[in-house]
Amino acid sequence: MSDRHDLILAGGGLANGLIAFRLTERRPDLRFLVIEGGETLGGNHTWSFHDGDLSPSEHAWMEPFVAHRWPGYEVRFPRRSRPVATGYASVSSERFRALLTERLGDRLMLGAPIASLDPGRVTLQDGRSFGARAVIDGRGHRGSRHLKLGFQKFLGQEWELAEPHGLAHPIVMDATVPQRDGYRFVYVLPFSPTRLLIEDTYYADDAALDTPTLRTSIADYAGAQGWRLQALVREEHGILPIALDGRIEDLVAEAAGVPTVGLARALFHPTTGYSLPDAVHVADLVAALPDLSSASLARLLAAHARNLWQDRAYFRLLNRLLFLAGVPEERYRILEHFYRLPDPLVARFYAARLDMGDKIRIFAGKPPVSIRSAIRVLAARRTMKDDA
């Protein structure tokens, strides 16, 4: 393999994997390389998204990645349970890995941890070094002092049941469970009549995950639903960033001119920590860029991050209300109140495409947190000074 590539994608996770896939379709002549530190691509995740998150053309090219699809889902709260008629879909790491491994062939290098990189070179821990016209950093979440975060943390277990569970749709939030460690809910995806992914989830102030307790909570939840767990198929855990505040200019500057994508660039929905829709949009942006030089990619990706950051200020304000305005065990009331809204508005919320009318409606009605603490959070307005 020659030392010189048109492009190196550093990290073979969601964001860079989708860019690589799109490049094989849109730029078949490009000489690029994906360098992944792990022995396989794509980690151990179930990546879900709502139908409204993607455009029709994005849905079309993502279709081969989709392992499960449902026409709607439900949510359950102490005082409100309802169906939501928006489609929901999941991409499995398994499908992602199989598709990309086959598609990329010798453009994929596995088991190759990167020690350092700059806009034109990647150096591995074993000392090998690869030059390129451009390098895109997609090495995932690494935290930054320029971001103030809460966390959505969870343990998920995929179980084969002894009998059919009878669930037709996902339960995206079941918050009728005892509240502790912040806003707690259980998330359930039915993969087959006898197969479920069950996740015990917390919107918490800290990132600590008490795995043994969460395993017991999942077993208790299944028991309470009358599901007999027979065989554990797999387990996954996540500690996703929830953006409360930040300084986008400093975050962009941290990359020192290296074009950066995915969680490394805070490209995620501020309230859910989900990044699949952003990764899909960015894959299309990159694949359509006529000039794939480092400078042109850096400009495009920095401008994209700034635009999204400014556009999503409202979500960070909501997050500050969620995390800072009430007692943690009462956080569920904010989501319960939100889910009084009609399906299309809920879909626009998850797609991070709210219009002004939506933003006003979300705050209307009887407030779910005390007016006094809401005013305190709103009056403080910001917890970090920003240059954006």
Ligand X SMILES: Cc1cc2nc3c(=O)[nH]c(=O)nc-3n(C[C@H](O)[C@H](O)[C@H](O)COP(=O)(O)OP(=O)(O)OC[C@H]3O[C@@H](n4cnc5c(N)ncnc54)[C@H](O)[C@@H]3O)c2cc1C
> Would you tell me which residues interact with ligand X (CB under 6 A)?
11-16, 35-38, 43, 45-49, 113-114, 138-140, 236-238, 240, 262-264, 273-276
Instruction: Report the amino acid identity of residue 277.
Output: P
Q: CA-CA distances (angstroms) from residue 87 to 52, 96, 316, 347?
A: 8, 20, 26, 9
A 10 A CB-CB count for 303 gives 11
- Which residues, 6+ apart, have CB-to-CB distance to 103 below 8 Å? 20, 21, 24
Instruction: Please report where in the chains the tokens 């997050």 appear, as a residue.
Output: 319
CB of 230 to ligand X, least distance (A): 23
CB of 358 to ligand X, least distance (A): 21
CB of 240 to ligand X, least distance (A): 5
Give the nearer residue to ligand X in terms of CB position, either 31 or 97.
Answer: 97
Give the nearer residue to ligand X in terms of CB position, either 19 or 325.
Answer: 19
CB of 367 to ligand X, least distance (A): 29
Task: Tell me the backbone φ, ψ of residue 65, rounded to 5 degrees.
Answer: -85, -20
Give the nearer residue to ligand X in terms of CB position, either 41 or 377.
Answer: 41
Q: Which two tokens stand for residue 76?
A: 């359950």
Instruction: Report the amino acid identity of residue 11.
Output: G
Instruction: Please report where in the chains the tokens 């730029």 appear, as a residue.
Output: 27
Q: Report the C-alpha gap between 59 and 152 in whole angstroms.
A: 26
- Which residues, 6+ apart, have CB-to-CB distance to 40 below 8 Å? 97, 110
Q: Residue 107 carries which DSSP code? A: G
Give the nearer residue to ligand X in terms of CB position, either 182 or 262.
Answer: 262
Give the nearer residue to ligand X in terms of CB position, either 301 or 369.
Answer: 301
* Per-position DSSP letters for 124-143, written without gaps between them: ETTS-EEEEEEEEE------
Give the nearer residue to ligand X in terms of CB position, either 132 or 377.
Answer: 132
Q: Which two tokens stand for residue 325?
A: 């305005």
Q: Report the C-alpha gap between 301 and 267 in whole angstroms.
A: 10
CA-wise closest residue to 229 among 136, 299, 304, 160: 160
Give the nearer residue to ligand X in terms of CB position, either 94 or 330.
Answer: 94
CB of 144 to ligand X, least distance (A): 13
Give the nearer residue to ligand X in terms of CB position, either 52 or 273.
Answer: 273
CA-wise closest residue to 51 among 359, 358, 351: 351
CA-wise closest residue to 225 among 188, 191, 193: 188
What are the residues facing 136 on neighbouring strands?
A: 9
Give the nearer residue to ligand X in terms of CB position, either 54 or 325.
Answer: 54
Q: Which two tokens stand for residue 162?
A: 């002894």
